[in-house]
């Protein structure tokens, strides 16, 4: 084969690998409808976990094939031509942005980071000047002036096609119209004065489906989400109408598992969602719909752009320094960056690989709205000029094994990135009494939500939790995370002798995974006034039998689900069709 044939061969190999990936990804996503209709929640959990690994599997397959062809030797002219040809292939590709990212992943697995620039990979997208895919390809429009509001809403729900019959769709529509009238009371909108745009594909996650769209009038647009649940008889019902943008943002939040939603044109779908939730970044929206690798790409491009237009320096993150991670941030950018320390403090018995595995475990798991999503990057280059001197000194003293220099760049071999939040312990120092009580109540609920998802957070110190801009408590330190079912929860033994009462150390045997809930709150919340607030709302957290019951529920197949919208917005029926488990 001549050198002139190689770019075509390489570009086609990579594009074929991407097509294989997206085909399998969409296949498992499409099956979410049937899993929802059948109430097969366990299969849904398995599919959600498995789907996350699809991308890396296809990248490894494609990398292996090209490694055999190239022998890992980079011919600069060949690869410059390969990139250009691949770019040409994507000119009218419906998933072009995803295919660019796939190309980057394969190339970066093959060659040294010195080639990670826009000449060889798509550091900057080539699609910014391309004709965008029509957003209209992703939604249908409905006109109540033609058939009336009731029939229009019935048609919408029928065409969304959730794979099962409704228990009483007419009653659901009555409740839906009533809720909209109440939520849009400031402006009376008649049926003939509006259009309804609804995304063709429903969004599936855990035990719910979500219909997403907007109501367009001459005055304004009302974004909405309608959660659809399944009752114990296999019938569907509409559970709420959410039109508050902040509440919609929580449903699409970074602490939640990824949705399953079919799309042929992801960029068009994301643009529609961005119009509904303008404060959401592209990275957050790609992540929400399960395209977490594209989310990484969008985040990194945004970070590079921010570096180019700002001049502040990276500094140590606020809060108590951790024993496992060195954490820093850019004050003008809403993220924190974490690097695993060379040696762990505080007598930590875990090793580096265990920390990595636990962060990846959370990535694959149902985060129940209480655990922050994390990006993991390799060989990240940061200009030395953008690193504050005291931070650089701290990095060199704590994570030197992860650092190397390349001219005026600091290369970090492995970097974790999370949304920046206000550490809970810092918030509680300046909050009002009402805010403190609300935060401690939500802190306890966050722990319960994680337990229901089979997560034992381990280190439950307040410093390991943060508050989002919506004042939700979210966990973000994963080095002690384990599955709840792997732990052994015990009542604290009662001392039988005077010597046992005075013993400075435990006089009873303690195995590595033994946990005594009676001691948890004292250790995690040593401040009496905070602990009393926690106990006021969550007294069961000090009872070992409560934790044991959570384990038993998980082992017997009970799937508790915490829905990401308030109880107050749920429709009130004469006879509630939701099971008690759904009401949580």
> Would you list which residues are annotated within the binding site for ATP?
317-323, 338
Q: By the 8 A CB rule, do 353 and 276 touch?
A: no
Torsion of CA 510, 511, 516, 521, to 10 degrees: 100
Partners of residue 212 on adjacent β-strands: 225
Q: What is the DSSP string of 147-167?
A: H-HHHHHHHHHHHH--SS-BS
Identify the sign of the CA torsion 431, 322, 484, 493: negative
Chain centroid offset of residue 7 CA: 37
Q: By the 8 A CB rule, do 373 and 421 touch?
A: no
Residue 373 annotated as catalytic: yes
Q: By the 8 A CB rule, do 339 and 415 touch?
A: yes
Q: Which residue in 246, 247, 333, 254 sits closest to 286, CA to CA?
A: 254
Q: Which residue in 515, 523, 521 sits closest to 544, CA to CA?
A: 515
Chain centroid offset of residue 207 CA: 17
Residues at the binding site are 317-323, 338
Cα 159 to Cα 196: distance, rounded to the nearest angstrom = 13
- Residue from 172, 366, 373, 561 carrying the catalytic annotation: 373
Side by side, the strands of the sheet bearing 473-475 are 422-423, 465-467, 473-475
Partners of residue 195 on adjacent β-strands: 216
Tokens standing for residue 502: 């005075």
Question: For the chain, what's the residue count?
Answer: 584
- What amino acid positions are annotated as catalytic residues? 373
């Amino acid at each position: 084969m001549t050198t002139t044939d190689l770019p075509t061969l390489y570009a086609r190999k990579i594009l074929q690998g991407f097509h294989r990936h997206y085909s399998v990804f969409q296949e498992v996503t499409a099956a979410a409808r049937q899993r929802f209709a059948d109430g097969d929640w366990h299969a849904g959990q398995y599919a959600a976990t498995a789907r996350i690994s699809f991308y890396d599997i296809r990248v490894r397959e494609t990398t292996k094939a090209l490694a055999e062809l190239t022998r890992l030797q980079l011919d600069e002219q060949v690869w410059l031509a390969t990139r250009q040809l691949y770019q040409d292939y994507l000119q009218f590709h419906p998933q072009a942005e995803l295919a660019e990212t796939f190309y980057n992943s394969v190339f970066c697995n093959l060659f040294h980071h010195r080639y990670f620039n826009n000449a060889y990979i798509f550091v900057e997208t080539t699609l910014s000047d391309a004709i965008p895919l029509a957003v209209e390809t992703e939604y249908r429009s409905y006109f109540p002036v033609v058939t009336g509001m009731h029939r229009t809403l019935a048609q919408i729900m029928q065409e969304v096609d959730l794979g099962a019959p409704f228990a009483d769709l007419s009653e659901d529509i009555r409740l839906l119209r009533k809720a909209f009238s109440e939520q849009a009371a400031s402006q009376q909108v008649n049926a003939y004065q509006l259009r309804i745009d609804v995304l063709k594909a429903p969004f599936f996650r855990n035990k719910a489906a979500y219909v997403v769209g907007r109501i367009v009038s001459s005055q304004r647009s009302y974004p909405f989400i309608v959660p659809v649940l399944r009752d114990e008889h296999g019938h569907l019902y509409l559970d709420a109408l959410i039109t508050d943008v902040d509440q919609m943002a929580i449903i699409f939040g970074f602490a939640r598992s990824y949705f399953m939603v079919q799309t042929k044109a992801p960029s068009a779908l994301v643009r529609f969602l961005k119009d509904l939730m303008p404060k959401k970044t592209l990275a957050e929206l790609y992540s929400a719909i399960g395209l977490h690798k594209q989310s990484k790409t969008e985040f990194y491009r945004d970070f590079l752009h921010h570096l180019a237009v700002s001049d502040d320096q990276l500094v140590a993150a606020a809060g108590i320094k951790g024993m496992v991670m060195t954490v820093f941030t850019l004050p003008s950018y809403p993220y924190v960056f974490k690097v695993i320390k060379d040696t762990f403090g505080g007598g930590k018995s875990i090793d580096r690989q265990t920390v990595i595995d636990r962060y990846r475990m959370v990535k694959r798991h149902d985060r129940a709205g209480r655990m922050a999503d994390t990006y993991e990057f390799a060989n990240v280059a940061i200009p030395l000029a953008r690193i504050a001197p005291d931070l650089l000194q701290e990095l060199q003293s704590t994570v030197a094994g992860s650092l190397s220099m390349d001219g005026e760049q600091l290369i970090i071999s492995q970097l974790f990135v999370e949304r920046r939040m206000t550490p809970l312990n810092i918030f509680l120092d300046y909050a009002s009494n009402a805010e403190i009580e609300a935060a401690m109540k939500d802190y306890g609920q966050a722990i319960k939500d994680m337990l229901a998802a089979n997560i034992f957070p381990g280190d439950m110190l307040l410093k390991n939790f943060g508050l989002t801009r919506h004042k939700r408590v979210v966990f973000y330190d994963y080095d002690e995370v384990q599955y709840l079912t792997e732990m052994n929860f015990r009542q604290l033994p009662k001392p039988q002798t005077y010597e046992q009462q005075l013993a400075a150390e435990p006089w009873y045997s303690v195995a590595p995974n033994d946990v005594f809930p009676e001691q948890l709150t004292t250790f995690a919340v040593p401040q009496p006034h905070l602990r009393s607030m926690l106990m006021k709302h969550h007294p069961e957290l000090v009872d070992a039998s409560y934790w044991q019951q959570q384990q038993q529920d998980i082992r017997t197949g009970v799937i508790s689900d915490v829905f990401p919208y308030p109880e107050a917005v749920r429709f009130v029926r004469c006879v509630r069709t939701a099971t008690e488990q759904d009401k949580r």
